[in-house]
Structure 1
Amino acid sequence: MTRQRPAQAGFTLLEMLAAIMLVAFVGSLMVQMLIYLEKASQGIQRHTAAKQVRSLSLEWFTGAVEGLLAPEPSNDESRFRGDEFSFEGVSAGSLARRPGIPVAVAFRLENDPEQGYSALIYVRRLEDSRWALLQLPGVARFRYLDVRGRWHADWPPTPRLADSLPEAVSLQADSAEVFVLAAVMGPRTRPVADEL
């Protein structure tokens, strides 16, 4: 008679080690996946925040241009003037005040050829402070549209237009990514007392 061993219930040590190694491998893959997902989520949040800042900055620029107020005749303080890299005037659509309250505004473009971008800067003339709004790729410039549909690098293009506003102001960068056209919404000149 041969003696039979009873069947053992449970797992052998080798089976247990194999199971533990498999669970550890799957767990390490899951941790790596969670780390990757967290980094991807942070990248998406940064990208979304940058797009929101860019959109808000361009809206501020557009609002300030739309709210430009026609200067009082022969008043140098309130005249709108600009060149390729800056402009200043009086706007009712300022960043610094409630909408509708006229305030002196100025925008500047500071080009940095080494870095390959231009910074759009809002200047608060009365408080002597500057807010860097956003960075634009390449060299950026302002252009001014007259009533005849011609673009100019400087405003006023002629002394006759010194007491008037341009029809629109564009902000454009050398790269095709940026072109913002902001139309002046109010009257381009103030009526003279005889016209009232």
Structure 2
Amino acid sequence: MTSEFVAARQGGLTLLEMMVVLLIAGMAITLGFQSLGQWRRANTAISQISGATQQAALTEAWLEESLRSLIPLQEQAFKGSEEQLEGVTTQPVQSHQGGATPIVWSIRSEAGVPHLLLKEDEEEGQGLDLPLPGASEARFAYMDEEGRLHTQWPPELGLHAHLPAAIVLEQDMEDGSQRLWAAAISGARNPRFNPFEVDLE
């Protein structure tokens, strides 16, 4: 009698055991899908942060390269305010590098996000629209040789060079912090006088 019961028992699972197995498997699959969803959301967030960081780094590099290569020209004075600056650079972002290229960097806000706008060589109509991710406000400031910041260039009073010593892009971030991008002018800051120009004319 006992051997017959054991033989019948070895034949398969009871309905109750099958239900327990299916319940455990269902719980495991549910937990797996939840973990997968969390991983996907985390991966998407990391990708967005990484993309925004790369975009900000590229924008900073373009701005710094363009501004540190500004050159002073007597016939085209450098002008700067908190919202816009105009000058001539030898390192344009889109045009051929090495030649003197007029540039205009300006700031505008779109849907609460400040954007950097770049115009190069107005005859060709080239331009870039570069958002500043994570920033709520942005403005230019101009540093003189003594390290003082001015909201415009040329400054209102006193003697000044044709170009500032450095240009700073101040950014107020959404988290309350401040991000500063600075570009020091690498070349001469005043036009050079050539005494032979009169003879050539």
Once the 2 structures are TM-superposed, how far is the Cα of residue 91 of structure 1 from its aligned partner?
0.8
Which residue does the alignment assign to 1:86?
84
SS in 1 for 2:118: strand
Q: Percent identity?
A: 26
Once the 2 structures are TM-superposed, how far is the Cα of residue 171 of structure 1 from its aligned partner?
0.8
Structure 2: runs of 5+ lacking an equivalent: none
* Contact 2:119–2:127, Cα closer than 8 Å, also in 1: yes
Aligned-residue RMSD, C-alpha: 2.4
Distance across 2 between alignment mates of 1:67 and 1:195: 26
Structure 1: runs of 5+ lacking an equivalent: none
Distance across 1 between alignment mates of 2:5 and 2:114: 84
1:50 aligns with 2:46: no
Task: Report the TM-score, using the length of structure 1 for normalisation.
Answer: 0.83
Which residue does the alignment assign to 1:168?
166
* Contact 2:143–2:150, Cα closer than 8 Å, also in 1: yes
* Contact 2:168–2:182, Cα closer than 8 Å, also in 1: yes
Deviations 1:2-46 (A, max 9, x none): x55431212112101210121121012112211221221121111
Distance across 1 between alignment mates of 2:26 and 2:148: 71
Once the 2 structures are TM-superposed, how far is the Cα of residue 60 of structure 1 from its aligned partner?
0.7
Distance across 2 between alignment mates of 1:195 and 1:50: 51
Once the 2 structures are TM-superposed, how far is the Cα of residue 111 of structure 1 from its aligned partner?
3.9
Once the 2 structures are TM-superposed, how far is the Cα of residue 149 of structure 1 from its aligned partner?
3.0
1:123 aligns with 2:124: no
Runs of 4+ in structure 1 over 4 Å off:
158-162
Q: Which amino acid aligns with 2:14?
A: T
Which residue does the alignment assign to 1:18?
20
Once the 2 structures are TM-superposed, how far is the Cα of residue 123 of structure 1 from its aligned partner?
2.0
Which residue does the alignment assign to 2:184?
183
Q: Which amino acid aligns with 1:191?
A: R
Q: Which amino acid aligns with 1:58?
A: E
* Contact 1:104–1:126, Cα closer than 8 Å, also in 2: no
